[in-house]
Structure 1
Amino acid sequence: MEYFSIGQTLNINPPHGLGPIDFGALPSDVRGFFGTDLVWEEWMDGNMNDCLYYPGLVFHFDRCDSRAPLPSASLIAIEVFRRGDCVFRGRPMTHWSRPEICKRLGKESVEITNLVADAIAIPRWNLEVSFDSDGYCEHFWLDRDRIQYPS
């Protein structure tokens, strides 16, 4: 399953952000681009009061109250889930298999860490990529700050 398209391509651009939304953006920047109607989905975990969430997207902020990110909060992480309009290295994210993405990043001399059978990490970009049961990308987690990986 892929989610709707917003009518344009959003580049997954580690370590900077997604499309026109860069780390450090304010909640108003995200709302200005994606709208004010939040849509919660089953794949989204836990308490979401520090987030703005849309079909296949979650934007995490560093400060919130009991309901939403504070107006002065800063974007610190982005999750992208099964979005065919989100592209990585010129291809829709859902079209990348694990071997293909590893080969492509290897050609760019990008170090990859195997986390578990269905996920890899790219520490240089604070990026984790998860794959579905068919071996194709389904989830990108981009983080502004250094993700700590077990050795």
Structure 2
Amino acid sequence: MTETIHDISLDSGFGPIKFGSPPSVAKQDWGEERCYEEWMGGNLENFLYFRGLLVGFRVECTDHPTENSQVCMFQVKIVNPIRLFGKEISRVSKAEIEDLLLSNNLKYRELPNGTLQCKDRKLQFHFNDGNLDEVYFAG
């Protein structure tokens, strides 16, 4: 069985989930049951959560996103294969992410905790033992 590789698109969204989608469409497009994992932390009323994925919403959220809410951000834990700019980045080093950012003309800085943060886009890369562990991006 081959795992699906989900693409990060800074303009469109993540895999089948598009920026601006309401929660019902995001759930249908992802096609998996919601799943809470320890890394997600608490206070998730503006999110849908799936295995390895937090989907954030803006506009109207009470104790959960309503149908007037819209997808605005993703936090992706590296548990499944993902691709950015056509390159699989699931098991890459910080140096490989830096090369990918530079080759796509994205300026970045390294935060004190080792996170790489793009300057002109809402895009961050978190590492564990020098390898990519998590990607955050927003539209």
**Do residues 120 (structure 1) and 106 (structure 2) align?**
no
Q: Which runs of 5+ in 2 are unaligned?
A: none
How far apart are 1:111 and its partner, in Å? 0.4
| Structure 1 unaligned blocks of 5 or more | 145-151
1:139 pairs, out of 95, 114, 134, with: 134
Within 5 Å, give how 1:106-117 maps onto structure 2.
106-117=102-113
- Normalized per residue, the structure richer in strand is 2
The two structures have a TM-score, normalised by structure 1, of 0.81
**Residue of structure 2 in register with 1:53 after alignment:** 49
Instruction: Kindly provide the CA deviation profile for residues 46-72 of structure 1, in whole angstroms up to 9, marking residues without a partner as x.
Output: 211211100000001112122x21011
Q: 1:65 — aligned with what? A: 62
Partner of 2:5: 9
Runs of 4+ off more than 4 Å: none
By how many angstroms is 1:117 displaced? 4.0
- Structure 1 distance, partners of 2:38, 2:87, is 26
C-alpha distance in 2 between matches for 1:117 and 1:64: 31
How far apart are the structure 1 equivalents of 2:57 and 2:105?
31
**Once the 2 structures are TM-superposed, how far is the Cα of residue 14 of structure 1 from its aligned partner?**
1.5
Aligned length: 137
The Cα of 1:137 is off from its aligned counterpart by 0.7
CA contact (8 A) 1:87 1:93 kept: yes
Equivalent residue, structure 2, for 1:27: 23
Identity of aligned residues (%): 24
Deviation, 1:122, is 1.2
Cα distance between partner residues in 1 of 2:110 and 2:11: 19
Q: How far apart are residue 114 of structure 1 and its match?
A: 1.0
